[in-house]
Structure 1
Amino acid sequence: MKLLKQTAVAAFAASLLLQAPAWAAEDYAPLRESLQKAGASVVWDASTKTAAFKLLNGTTGSVTLDKDEYKLGSKTGKLRAKAKLVDGVTQVPSDFIEQLISDQTGSNVLDAAKQKDEKLVSVTADVETAAVESGSDAADDPAIWVNPKDPSKSTLLATNKGGGILVYDLAGQELYSYKVGKVNNIDVRYDFPLGGKKVDIAAATNRSSNSVEFFAINQETGELTNINGDKIKSKMHEVYGFSLYHSLKTGKFYALILGKEGEFEQYEILDNGSGKVNGKLVREFQLGTIAEGLVADDEYGYMYLAEENVAIWKYDAEPDNGILPIARVDSADGTRLTPDIEGLTLYYGKDGTGYLIASNQGESRYAIYKREGSNDYISSFVIADGSQTDGTSVTDGIDVLSFGLGDKFPNGLFVAQDDENITDGKTMNQNFKLLGWDKIAEAVDPKLTQVTNIDPRKLIKRNR
């Protein structure tokens, strides 16, 4: 996967909205590259051929291809010449770029917080799953499912890009395998209305068909049953990152997809009347570069997107609330995060507190931020070699749960994909490492919150 990512980034560097070709006219400048260097956010709306931007001071604006008008805050103005597309890159008159950069005065409201320097601690895993059957870069993303009758019988759903979805018990033993294609990222939600009752569902991006797969989860056994209706076929080049979102504001459920070229699509998902799941596209936009990590906060109505080589972005998860980010949580500048930023997950704490956790793949470690407020950085940790398992490296997907899962994980669970699975000195196929949340919480100084009763079926709408 790492080689593929590097290739995708290199190929995309000369494409949509990223950098200027060497022969561009001197009086034009690349909009995205110029503004990103100045700390702004730039997003592409393909439906209107518009580049929208948000400056450091919070001012928003936009330009549209083949038009000489621009919007900046509540005002409109005239460009010296029309915005144009050259080799897939949006170019605008250079004096407009100079104006925007000079206008970036006042407080920096785009960055969520002035983040601290990295603090690092070390923990070890308790359990590892059986290795996936495919070699090389195959294991990718985990999702924890809570058994409603017996939490100790909860399962771990995981993707195998070599050919499907795997289901493990909490001892790491494989229970089921589903050969549905090159599945990349997976997520779970509870009490989805289907066929006149509420069911737990899992969904995942499938790179074999550039689509989303939906499954009902058997509440007794954890087995999966395909519930695809008219399958969601993405318009993006290749589906990649994924999250489900249950809006506690409206009650609606959504599938969120990120693409390998930074595309984002949001689909409302619903019962098609025959006990199957259909999807309706309700929002789309495009980041500048490759993006995969994606997680939604159902209680606050936010979503976090990891643009791998750039930043973690915080967005409103409601589809009618625009295409520009609310804030930048942190940047891949080598201080706390190093490219690639990969998996994202949320630890739901008491009274709306908790943690946002990111897989810092470039440094084989994990960064922890506050879930509430401005997402202040707290600490980072590595999963080192221990007496039970080896450590993790170059992690893709992660998941966390603030709910007790019986005697094995009474204080909650953290799961991470391991790129290089070592057993008795031999490199095996990739797998997933499991460790109790208490290990992480007690290693960090000051200690993190530990809660064991945040039932994912009983989340509460929070005021921002």
Structure 2
Amino acid sequence: MRTLLAALAVTATALPAVFPAVSASALPATPPAVFPAVSAANAGAPALSADELPSAAPAAETPALFDDGAGGNANGDDPAIWVNPRKSGRSLIIATAKEGGLYVHDLGGKRLQHIAAPAAPGKDDEPGRFNNVDLVYGFRLGDRRVDLAVVSDRGRDQLRFYAIDPAGLTLTDVTDPAVPYVFNRTQRQVNEEETAYGLATWQDGGRAYALVSRRHQTRLGLARLTARNGRVAYRLTRTLDLPARFELPDGGTWRPCGEPGERPQIEGMVVDGGRDVLYAAQEDVGIWRLPADLTGRPVLMDKVKEYGRQDTYDPKTDECVPGEERGHGGERLAADAEGLTIWYGKGGGYLLASSQGDSTFAVYTREGSNRFLGSFRVGPGKGIDGTEHSDGAMVVDRPLGRYAHGLLVVHDGRNTPADGDRENTNFKLVPWENVPLPR
């Protein structure tokens, strides 16, 4: 098996295993600007250019999704891999497609089911828009236990829940019709689109939670899942705001560029279930590590390359014009920092992060202060194109049918072959043994 070059390794600096606990009431509404610039284990670690990186080849892919009227406005975003407890070869890939809803596939990429996103409640209101998906296993729903696909509906500012049938391989909506908005109070506020965005689930001591980020803001919310009359509901129990501005080593202050009123948002998230640690990718900043219950002090474990560069928003183009490079950025992640997933297998495990700006994936150790190990690309193979501008990703560390060593599924933001000017996305299925990592 291939391994990453030894030059990619850096010396780790161990951190305490336990984060300091802080009550929710003691947390400031907006944290101070001064946070650790970056985890010591990842300061200045070398990185190869994207073209020099080793490549992982996919073995299968899901059907194309087209973000236009003819394609049902389907735009792929985030996958989850549900492991079938009865027969692992009959596991499922569940993927969000924004206004296109939710798609369910087998391990060959074949489409098995489509679930539409909810319609807009009123003429001028936003329709459902499924952004991220994650899983909860063994949730008690009445007199039975079910596995759930949990989805962030950014169009409706809600969470939605789908029970997975291991026999029929189908999903059924079990969302309580009275679920509240996650972050807003009125439909008018929901229509402003500062809504539920990124999502990660967490199971702790028999309780199930969803960690949710807010679009265009730095807020994270912790929602506890509850059962009511055979349906699944939730209540928000705690929130925490990550920084929106940062003090730089040269004494300056940096605010990531965005439209007026927008703050640097978080989307990609994952909880290390063995350590109760949340990793959250703030797209224009980097990856944060913090306790899953949103107490304690967040640590910025790695920065994007653009960190500290003062770009300027141009209202005519609705884009940020790059500013002068000031040497404060990281080495591995090109904004946006996106999908996060954890490999729990032998050797301590890995944290994988999508570096969307250069279409690569960065790899860190799971333990300690998450030492950077190296990066790779998902390239073409067996007549399947590679992955570009990847958003969500998920990996499973156990045999799944044909995938004897596990499976990595990643979003492809520019699927080919192209079909005219239609925006084309899908998901690539990569056997774990194809991923060029240390074993």
* TM-score, normalised with respect to structure 2: 0.73
**Residue aligning to 1:343:** 339
Contact 1:115 1:377 in 2 (8 A): no
State which drifts further: 130-139 or 290-299: 130-139
Amino acid at match of 1:308: E
1:238 to 191, 195, 213: 195
**Residue aligning to 2:47:** 118
| Pairs within 5 Å for 1:14-413 | 50-53=29-32, 55=34, 111=40, 113-114=42-43, 116-119=45-48, 120-135=53-68, 138-180=75-117, 181-229=128-176, 230-235=178-183, 237-247=194-204, 250-260=205-215, 261-272=217-228, 274-287=229-242, 288=244, 289-319=264-294, 321-322=295-296, 324-325=297-298, 327-333=299-305, 334-350=330-346, 353-406=348-401, 408-413=402-407
Amino acid at match of 2:32: F
Amino acid at match of 1:415: V
Kindly name which structure, 1 or 2, has the bigger radius of gyration based on alpha carbons: 1
Contact 2:397 2:405 in 1 (8 A): yes
**Residue aligning to 2:257:** none
State which drifts further: 108-117 or 219-228: 108-117
Identity, in percent, stands at 34
Matches of 1:292 and 1:286 in 2, distance apart? 14
Amino acid at match of 2:270: V
Aligned-pair RMSD on alpha carbons? 2.4
Aligned pair in 2 of structure 1 residues 370, 347: CA closer, same or farther (>3 Å)? same
Deviation (angstroms), 1:162: 2.9
For structure 1, the 5+ residue unaligned runs are: 1-44, 58-107, 449-464
Aligned pair in 2 of structure 1 residues 115, 283: CA closer, same or farther (>3 Å)? farther
* 1:357-406 Cα distance to aligned partner (Å, 9 max, x none): 11100010100111111100111111112233000100111110001011
Q: Secondary structure at the match of 2:434?
A: helix
Matches of 1:200 and 1:295 in 2, distance apart? 18
Matches of 1:46 and 1:218 in 2, distance apart? 41
Q: Which structure's relative contact order is higher, taking Cα pairs within 8 Å and 6+ residues apart?
A: 2
2:412 to 412, 418, 436: 418
Contact 1:111 1:328 in 2 (8 A): no
Matches of 1:438 and 1:150 in 2, distance apart? 21
Matches of 1:56 and 1:169 in 2, distance apart? 43
Deviation (angstroms), 1:222: 2.3
Contact 1:128 1:432 in 2 (8 A): yes
Q: Secondary structure at the match of 1:139?
A: coil
Contact 1:55 1:110 in 2 (8 A): no
* 1:181-227 Cα distance to aligned partner (Å, 9 max, x none): 31000001211111122211111111221111011111112211111
Aligned pair in 2 of structure 1 residues 158, 177: CA closer, same or farther (>3 Å)? same
Matches of 1:55 and 1:349 in 2, distance apart? 35
Aligned pair in 2 of structure 1 residues 335, 267: CA closer, same or farther (>3 Å)? same
* 1:306-353 Cα distance to aligned partner (Å, 9 max, x none): 00010100010125x24x31x2221002510111001111111237x2
